[in-house]
Structure formats: C-alpha cells, structure tokens
Amino acid sequence: MRTLPEEWYRQSGIQITWPHAGTDWRHMLKEVQTCFAEIAIAIAKRETLLIVAPDMNEVKKQISNKVNMDNVVFVECETNDTWARDHGCITVLEDGKPVVLDFRFNGWGQKFASDLDNQINSCIYDKHVLHAMYENHLGFTLEGGSIESDGKGTIMTTSTCLLAPNRNDEMSQAEIEKYLLESFGAKRILWVDYGFLAGDDTDGHIDTLARFCPNDTIVYIRCDNPKDYHYESLQNMEKQLKSFTTLDGKPYRLLSVPMTDEIKDDSMRLPATYANFLVINGAVLYPTYNQSENDKKAGQTLQEAFPGYEIVGIDCRALIKQHGSLHCVTMQYPEGVI
C-alpha cells in the first residue's frame, strides 16, 4: 500500500538549496543568505538539515557560528536557483518504507533555467544521502508546491497550475488525475479552481493559497478588502473550500490567515502569503512580513491549527523579492530517509 504522508508526519530532515552568486539572488545575496541562515537555525535546532550548494565551504563560513552544525548534512551540486520545494524529491511510503519520487522540474513552465536544478535529486541520491528506493518520474512535470496531502488519501491542488499548458500539455485532466492517484497511492484529488497571487510565477501553487493541517483542517488565505485586486478570486476560493468534504463526507474545519497588506518592489506587487508555512518536528515555521497585526493574526491561526506545536515566525521579506516564501525553499523527508 502506497501513501503520500502529511507534512506533519515525523520527519528525518529538511532540504534547502543555498543561494549563491550564480543565482537570481546575486544582486541581494547577503540579504537572502541572512534569511536562509535564520531558516537553517530554526530547522537544525530540531532535526537534520540537508544543505545543497555548489560550494559547501562557503556556506559553512556563513552559518557555522550560528547553526547547530551537528545536525547539518552537505551535498555539493551545481544549482540554478534555490526553490527546493519544487525541484526536490517527493517521498511516499510503500508498505511503510520510503520511496523518493523524482519528477521533472521545468522552471514553472520553462519560465526560468532549470537544467541544473533538475539534476539535484540524482546528485543527492548518487551520494547515498537518501536511504530510500528511487523512482524515476522524469517524464512528468510536477512541483512539490503544487500539491497538498492530508496523509489519508486526499490530494489538494489547483487547476491553474496542474492543467497549465506549460507543464504536461499532452495530457488531459483525467489523465493527469489518474497519473497522480497512481503515483501517490491517493484516493481522490480536490481541485481548487480559484485563487491567485499577483506576482506569482508558479501559475497558482496550492501552498500559497490553502494548506492541509491536522484534524481535517484547512488553513487558507482570506481577503476581506473589496478594493484588493485578489478579493473576488479569493472569495470564490473560500466558497469552494466550504463545499469540500472529507472522505467521510464531513465538512473541513476552515481557518483563515489574513491577506497581507500590499508589498511592492519596483512597482510590482509581490506574492506575500502566510499560507507558505513549513511544518517540522514540534514546530511550525511561518513567514512574516514586518506587518505586526497581520503577522500576529497569522501566528495565532497557526497555533490554533497546530495545538502543541511551537509557532516560529521568520522574516521572509527577502524571499518574496524573488516571488517565493518559506515553504518554497524547503522540502521535508519522512523519518528514516536522511
């Protein structure tokens, strides 16, 4: 029996892919490396941190006096960028044993170079860092940020991303759904048809909009400002989420996090979202944006969604300048893998 475990399933570690001068971060490298260091501190305090980088000695110089290095594993690989959520392996459990699935990453529909990032998984696996069976899915384009699993057989995704012509345009929705159900051992897919963020490069990843949480809960972003560009679409998304039911036919418990106040860079609105949080062992790391009231409300909602977890805010204003956030730069591996 195959399952795609929920993110709060016990983890062996988290992967991040470190920003360097050869990435799009070159013009703000120190700023983003400071953000990555804060993420690394929070993760390595609680579990293993796998850092992928072209030069591990350079990364060690940046973090060795801040991070619990006893919990850090390095793999040297050439990389295009830093979005581990989307180029990283996705782990399923086959009769309780981990299998890492390596999907094709094409730069969110060939928007950006991805030739090096698409080889990171084989680089890591060839160095025997991942103690799991390897499964080649390089004939299918899929990013980890585009799917959510409740660990019970339900996958949630967005039609705007999974059905985008720049991913698997030769396949119909029915064919894509069949492939995902078989690959992940899932029972059904919930397709979210509404919701987007201005400035988003992913065609609407679900991890920017709505997330599964324990106890049949969905945390989602809510927009209450009719003057906001996102208002109508996010209101429609909320209505659709209210129509969803669990496999037992019960409505989901819905908890909302606020839409951030507008953040712009060179007159472009950035896709800041509190839905882009990361669950690790015993804690939830969530992005903050120097918006005290919104940051506080988001943290309170996540505490309600994850009782007993430590809720840790990390300033991610640097990350959204390249149109991503905290969950986007991480990928979790279940226990026994790293």
- Given a contact cutoff of 8 angstroms between Cβ atoms, the answer to whether 220 and 256 are in contact is yes
Tokens at residue 29, please? 């490298």
pLDDT digits (tens, 9 = 90+) for 38-48: 999 999 999 99
Could you give the domains of the chain? Answer: 2-334 (3.75.10.10)
% of residues, the chain, pLDDT over 70: 100
pLDDT band at 240 (very low <50, low <70, confident <90, very high): very high
Give the burial class of 98: count Cβ atoms within 10 A of its Cβ; 0-12 exposed, 13-18 middle, 19 or more buried: buried
Cβ atoms within 10 Å of 115's Cβ, excluding its own:
11
Task: Say what the pLDDT of residue 266 is.
Answer: 86
pLDDT averaged over every residue in the chain:
97
The separation between CA 4 and the C-alpha centre of its own chain, rounded to angstroms, equals: 15
Token code pair at residue 51 = 């850092």
Residue 120's H or E segment, with its range, is helix 120-126
pLDDT at residue 267, rounded to an integer: 87
Report whether pLDDT(26) > 90: yes
Q: Which residues contact 203 (CB under 8 A, 6 or more apart)?
A: 108, 109, 158, 160, 161, 164, 166, 167
Q: What is the mean pLDDT of residues 273-301?
A: 98
Tell me the pTM: 0.97
pLDDT value, residue 114 = 87
pLDDT tens-digit profile of 50-104?
A: 999 999 999 999 999 999 999 999 999 999 999 999 999 999 999 999 999 999 9
DSSP 238-292: HHHHHH-B-TTSPBPEEEEEEPPPP-EETTEEP---TT--EEETTEEEEEE-S-H
- pLDDT tens figures, 116-174: 999 999 999 999 999 999 999 999 999 999 999 999 999 999 999 999 988 999 999 99
- Residue with the bigger pLDDT between 209 and 267: it is 209
**Residue 109 pLDDT:** 87
Buried b (16+ CB within 10 A) or exposed e, 123-137: bbbeeebbebeeeee
* pLDDT value at residue 104: 96
Query: 252 falls in which pLDDT band (50, 70, 90)?
Result: very high
Q: How confident is the model at residue 256 (pLDDT cuts 50, 70, 90)?
A: very high
231: left (phi over 0), alpha (psi -120 to 50) or beta: alpha
Burial label for 61, CB within 10 Å (0-12, 13-18, 19+), is: exposed
